Structure 1
Amino acid sequence: MYQPDLTPVADSLAASSLVALLPLLTVFLTLGVLRWKAHLAGLSALGVSLVVAVAVYGMPVDLAALSTTQGMVFGLFPIMWIVVNAIWLYELTVRSGRFNDLRAVINAISDDPRVQAIIIAFCFGGLLEALAGFGAPVAITGVMLLAVGFTPMRAAVVVLLANTAPVAFGAIATPIITAGTLTGIDYTEIGAVVGHQTPFLALIVPLLLVLLADGKRGVRETWPIAVVVGFVFAVAQYASATYFSVELTDIVASLAGLIAAVVMLRVWTPAGGAEARSRLLAEMDAEQGDAPAGGTGAADSPAGGVALDQQTDAPALTAGRVLMALFPYLLVIVVFSIAKLVDPVKEWLLGTDLVFGWPGLDGNLLTAAGDPSTSPTYTFGWLSAPGSLLLICGVVVALVYRLSLAEAARAYGQNLMKLRFSILTVASVLGLAYVMNQSGQTITVGTWIAGTGAAFAFFSPILGWLGTAVTGSDTSANALFATLQQTAAERAGIDPTLLVAANTSGGVVGKMISPQNLTIAATAVGLVGRESDIFRKVIGWSVGLLLILCVLVGLQSTVLSWMLP
């Protein structure tokens, strides 16, 4: 039986925390400074975490190895299972010739790329986050932005930043429900408080997306629609989380934002759309000419050779072509809505899950408090997992698009080969997360930060940010730190619901820098091996939004307590 010691270094929580942070520092150093490829950075950090677990924390070598295997398998299923099938679904649209039709349909709503960034990455991405989560929004909206002419790097950064405000309520509010289950606090109360925090991000994210898409000039020309969509999304998220349904919050908010955008575009058109598109096309030409030798650039993006410039001789869109272009995405929404919202179907799917203790690890781990650990439990949702639902959607799309079984299978095999390093990256990162969690490294850092007393209200979102950066999941961050936030709040005389909610809200801005999500974004847009470049472009946004949340939660614990439900 292994029980983590939270202060293995000189009986000091601070010194132990600094050592426990070494694996994360390895990730940031190798990705952000040395610019290593993501799979090398992930494997290096995993190695460091194993050394710290065994040499510093005294975790038996066999348990540390088994912890690694559990994490790596979790990285393969369900995480990469989602990504592989999402990219395969996209590949089918390319091989069927429907890819250009999709771009034409989006252009029919608005041919302004700044507006398209809001509609695709923020509104549609939020809807996918509400239904699927686990990286699916980043993978799918990334290739959709390629379809309308974004360069791979710009598409990756935009979708990562857009995948923030909706994350807390993603996958039918799974992170919030997890926090409620672990703390005993009614999850609707936690969700209501989160609904008084993340809308502040929703207000500004569309403006930031426009800034990323076309700089300050883009903001000057398109700020009205960015403000309207952000405001409507924020109000809908606030109202649904507080008064209607925590589970349906992102669905309500995303649809409200999308409707607001469509209605506004009927009466107002931003200036400079054609010029913005020309600048994107020029950037695309430059990237194709400057693709690094032996690396992956715009020329190798998953667009499969589809021309991204305007096609003046393309046949006019008909209702049938519009339906066929949108069919894969409409199918995904319908399938996930039925699977997640229709209780009999949801319960039947969950009933097919295989749940078991990880061999050799289950029963041999204790928590820091001395209780049997539940973390060695593994769920194999062979049918209920989002990746499995995407696979079903892909099969249906192949049949509807009249692609032969051989061609669909060939596309799948080529997809696996193309994603091999991404698969290795995510497996190593999840192995790292499990070793850090089960050896006690993560909880050491969390306990150290929680020792700041009343000031902890300001720092509390950092724990959620840290947990999501390590695991790539806001749900996992809550599983790690929700009870710690509750305990620290009670000791400091702060409302526990506020800090548990802050853990969830902090996690939403940590997701964009998690190696797992960086790899998903890079894979989706064809920049495998350039995760470090993407990291350097999003780390500043992640830290900046985190500081906004820290200030907000700190004020909500004192002078702004009146704004809480």
Structure 2
Amino acid sequence: MGWVQDYEPVGGLWLSALLAALPIIVLLSALGVFRRSAHLSAALALLTALGIAVFAYGMPVGLAGNAALLGLVFGIWPIAWIAFHAVFFHNVTVETGRFESIKAALAGFSPDRRIQALLIAFGFGALLEGVAGGGSPIAITAAMMAALGFPPIKAVVLALLANTAPVAFGGLGNPMIVLGNVTAPLLGVEVEEATQLFSAMSGRQLPFLALIIPAFMVVVLAGWRRMVEVWPALLVTGGSFAITQFLISNYVSPSLVDVGAALAAMGSLWLLTRFWSPREVWRFDSEPAEKTDGHRAGSDAAQTGDGSGAVGDAEPAAGRLATAGRRRSGLYAWMPYLVLIVVIVVSRIGTLFPGLPAWLDVTALLQRATLDIPWAGLHEVVVRVPPITPQDADYPAVLTLDLLFSPGSVALIATIIAGVMMGARPMTLLRVYGRTIVQMRWALATIMMILSISFVMNYSGATSTLGLAFATTGVLFPLFSAFIGWLGVFLTGSDASANSLFGPMQVISAQQLDIDPTLAGGTNSSGGVMGKMISPQNLAVGATAIGQTGKESLLLRKTFLWSILLTLAVGVIALLQSTVLTGMIPH
């Protein structure tokens, strides 16, 4: 028998929960109130977590240190590995000059900053989340918008806000797959059935948020009045994403939700802009405003690349040539991102198309290089007890090194391929790689310490104490289920990790309260995604991507309220589904 967790170490659940929350309180206070840097705030919170684990929970010092060390390593692989190569990819596009072509292509799509934000942060960010996840959408889209002329801080805030609705299905549905795997035995069904149930449940919650998040973004960017001016774009972008998200999550597969919804949103927005544009082109204060007639005539499709107006009827052949040239230029500009998407999709082809011949299943080939390393001195040494688990169970501690299958490794391969295609020499790539290490050093340190806090809280039992405290809320449990997921993603930066951490507890608690466990598990994932925008490692990644390391506290203050309000919205939806809208729960 190993060391047994105690979820009420100071005699009462809520008093114990207050004690368990101290590392989070320290982290938020240092970051948001005292405006310390993310890495310093994380260091203070880590020391607090270790103190609570040892002195309050009675965790042996060696075990606590081992958990902290595993968290540090896990922060490097796979979390920091993914975020780092997302930034490296963007830096290579800038170094080769290709990003200037992307800027020109985006300006040709629409000069209006509101429309650009919808396309890049919401649409393209969702596509990146769908095929990769792991912080890459925040790093890449924030850097893209900043390079286009968006104020750097506002660019990150927009990227963080947008990286919500798609997260539950990110990485080709990985959060849902993880949730299905850890809860299927508790539900008494096969893993595939559990995964599809949770996919359908989140697919009946998140589309409501997808409808309003584009409007949230534009309000943050330009204000309420400017948001109303582009309501057709908001309706088309959010509506197409929401409808596609619902249909694919319920009737196809969680692995394809984000890719399909993102393509639908970007395609719908592009189609709309062929015949509609805002009456006034909105730019930042430092930029000149432009007037339009509120729509696009058919001849506008043949505008010159420099935005000088429509090509005259006297030169139709020249107009057609110019249009063809711009299409080629646009394809040329987006080539690095097309390479990135193709490489990631090919690496996941076995997930998308099960049953492929062995020689075609690139996914299986890449997974052969995966190593599972039990962490000596911690693996199955800690014992979890009911109600966190159905019965006493050893807590595994396994470090998975998916050397080739990790999205970070795939992004590295894609960057090398795209870099060579863009004319970068090996020494150029090495120089940019070294510069990216220097650029991201504090973000990497933050990520490592945040994951270390998470692991110490998990293995000491502090995280479970917090979850159990929320679970005492009875009929209001579905409302608080969203905040349990939010807490998990805040701590880990990952919806999949939050599902692994809290999914079983949510299901068990719901069963004890006679609430549908599918609702509780799905709400854990749906509510969790709203914690993504304030997770310290994501704040650090975003700040680093725009060269604003040390501004994480400012980012937190600008996103914290939105995060709480959106999580509350998910909770209210779940509460309604548990009471008056029970027909929305899949069975």
Fold in common (TM above 0.5) = yes
Q: What is the CA–CA distance in structure 2 between the aligned matches of 1:50 and 1:69, rounded to whole Å?
A: 11
- Alignment of 1:8 with 2:22, yes or no, is no
**TM-score if structure 1 supplies the norm length?**
0.92
Secondary structure of the 1:528 match is: coil
Instruction: Please name the residue that 1:333 is paired with.
Output: 341
2:25 partner letter: L
Q: What is the CA–CA distance in structure 1 between the aligned matches of 2:242 and 2:328, rounded to whole Å?
A: 35
Q: Is the 8 A contact 2:340 2:415 kept in 1?
A: no
Q: Is the 8 A contact 2:39 2:442 kept in 1?
A: yes
Q: Deviations over 1:172-210 (max 9, x none)?
A: 111111111111141101110110000011000111111
Instruction: Please name the residue that 2:527 is paired with.
Output: 506
1:442 partner letter: T
Note the C-alpha offset of 1:147.
Answer: 2.8
Q: What is the CA–CA distance in structure 2 between the aligned matches of 1:55 and 1:117, rounded to whole Å?
A: 48
Aligned counterpart for 1:351 among listed residues 359, 364, 368: 368
Q: What is the CA–CA distance in structure 2 between the aligned matches of 1:128 and 1:474, rounded to whole Å?
A: 15
Q: Deviations over 1:421-463 (max 9, x none)?
A: 1111111101000000111000011011101222212211110
Secondary structure of the 2:4 match is: coil
Instruction: Please name the residue that 1:250 is paired with.
Output: 258
Secondary structure of the 1:279 match is: coil
Q: Is the 8 A contact 1:211 1:218 kept in 2?
A: yes
1:6 partner letter: Y
- Alignment of 1:534 with 2:543, yes or no, is no
Q: What is the CA–CA distance in structure 2 between the aligned matches of 1:324 and 1:371, rounded to whole Å?
A: 58
Q: Is the 8 A contact 1:150 1:280 kept in 2?
A: no
Q: What is the CA–CA distance in structure 2 between the aligned matches of 1:432 and 1:200, rounded to whole Å?
A: 33
- Alignment of 1:431 with 2:452, yes or no, is yes
Instruction: Please name the residue that 2:242 is paired with.
Output: 234
Q: Deviations over 1:338-361 (max 9, x none)?
A: 111334211221221011101221
Aligned counterpart for 2:210 among listed residues 202, 206, 212: 202
Instruction: Please name the residue that 1:116 is paired with.
Output: 116
Residue-pair matches, total: 534
2:16 partner letter: S
Instruction: Please name the residue that 1:361 is paired with.
Output: 378
Q: Flag the 1:53–1:147 CA change in 2: closer, same or farther, 3 A.
A: same
Secondary structure of the 1:527 match is: coil
Structure 1 range deviating more: 251-260 or 29-38: 251-260
Q: What is the CA–CA distance in structure 2 between the aligned matches of 1:526 and 1:218, rounded to whole Å?
A: 28
Instruction: Please name the residue that 1:42 is paired with.
Output: 42
1:460 partner letter: S
Matches within 5 A, 1:83-102: 83-102=83-102
Instruction: Please name the residue that 1:217 is paired with.
Output: 225
Q: Is the 8 A contact 2:87 2:136 kept in 1?
A: no
Q: Deviations over 1:84-111 (max 9, x none)?
A: 2111111111111112111111112112
Structure 2 residue ranges without an equivalent (≥5): 188-193, 289-304, 309-321, 352-360
Q: Deviations over 1:332-385 (max 9, x none)?
A: 110111111334211221221011101221132222346444441110111111
Instruction: Please name the residue that 2:514 is paired with.
Output: 493
Q: What is the CA–CA distance in structure 1 between the aligned matches of 2:249 and 2:528, rounded to whole Å?
A: 17
- Alignment of 1:26 with 2:26, yes or no, is yes
1:279 partner letter: D
Instruction: Please name the residue that 1:267 is paired with.
Output: 275
Q: What is the CA–CA distance in structure 1 between the aligned matches of 2:261 and 2:97, rounded to whole Å?
A: 32
Secondary structure of the 1:366 match is: strand
Q: Is the 8 A contact 1:368 1:440 kept in 2?
A: no
Q: Is the 8 A contact 1:462 1:546 kept in 2?
A: yes
Identity of aligned residues (%): 41
Q: What is the CA–CA distance in structure 2 between the aligned matches of 1:418 and 1:119, rounded to whole Å?
A: 27
1:277 partner letter: R
Note the C-alpha offset of 1:468.
Answer: 0.5
- Alignment of 1:476 with 2:497, yes or no, is yes
Instruction: Please name the residue that 1:464 is paired with.
Output: 485
Q: Deviations over 1:205-229 (max 9, x none)?
A: 1111111221123202211111111
Structure 1 residue ranges without an equivalent (≥5): 283-309
Q: Deviations over 1:34-91 (max 9, x none)?
A: 0000000000000000000011111111111111111111111111111221111111
Q: Deviations over 1:490-535 (max 9, x none)?
A: 1111111011101010101011111011111111111110100000
Note the C-alpha offset of 1:15.
Answer: 0.8
Q: What is the CA–CA distance in structure 1 between the aligned matches of 2:341 and 2:286, rounded to whole Å?
A: 30
Higher relative contact order (CA 8 A, sep 6+): 1
Q: What is the CA–CA distance in structure 2 between the aligned matches of 1:524 and 1:337, rounded to whole Å?
A: 24
Structure 1 range deviating more: 448-457 or 43-52: 448-457
Aligned-residue Cα RMSD (Å) equals 1.8
Aligned counterpart for 1:393 among listed residues 400, 410, 414: 414
Secondary structure of the 1:36 match is: coil
Instruction: Please name the residue that 1:557 is paired with.
Output: 578
Q: Deviations over 1:293-312 (max 9, x none)?
A: xxxxxxxxxxxxxxxxx999
Secondary structure of the 1:354 match is: strand
Instruction: Please name the residue that 2:299 is paired with.
Output: none
Instruction: Please name the residue that 1:277 is paired with.
Output: 283
Q: What is the CA–CA distance in structure 2 between the aligned matches of 1:459 and 1:263, rounded to whole Å?
A: 40
Instruction: Please name the residue that 1:285 is paired with.
Output: none
Q: Flag the 1:175–1:19 CA change in 2: closer, same or farther, 3 A.
A: same
Q: Flag the 1:311–1:536 CA change in 2: closer, same or farther, 3 A.
A: farther
Secondary structure of the 2:550 match is: coil
Q: What is the CA–CA distance in structure 2 between the aligned matches of 1:473 and 1:338, rounded to whole Å?
A: 23
Note the C-alpha offset of 1:279.
Answer: 2.1
Secondary structure of the 2:372 match is: strand
Q: Flag the 1:127–1:375 CA change in 2: closer, same or farther, 3 A.
A: farther
Matches within 5 A, 1:403-414: 403-414=424-435
1:517 partner letter: N
- Structure number with larger C-alpha Rg: 2
1:152 partner letter: P
Instruction: Please name the residue that 1:106 is paired with.
Output: 106
Secondary structure of the 2:254 match is: coil
Instruction: Please name the residue that 1:291 is paired with.
Output: none
Instruction: Please name the residue that 1:150 is paired with.
Output: 150
Structure 1 range deviating more: 339-348 or 417-426: 339-348
Q: What is the CA–CA distance in structure 2 between the aligned matches of 1:83 and 1:335, rounded to whole Å?
A: 17
Secondary structure of the 1:200 match is: helix
Q: Is the 8 A contact 1:102 1:147 kept in 2?
A: no
Q: Flag the 1:312–1:229 CA change in 2: closer, same or farther, 3 A.
A: closer
Structure 1 range deviating more: 368-377 or 103-112: 368-377
Q: Is the 8 A contact 1:67 1:435 kept in 2?
A: yes
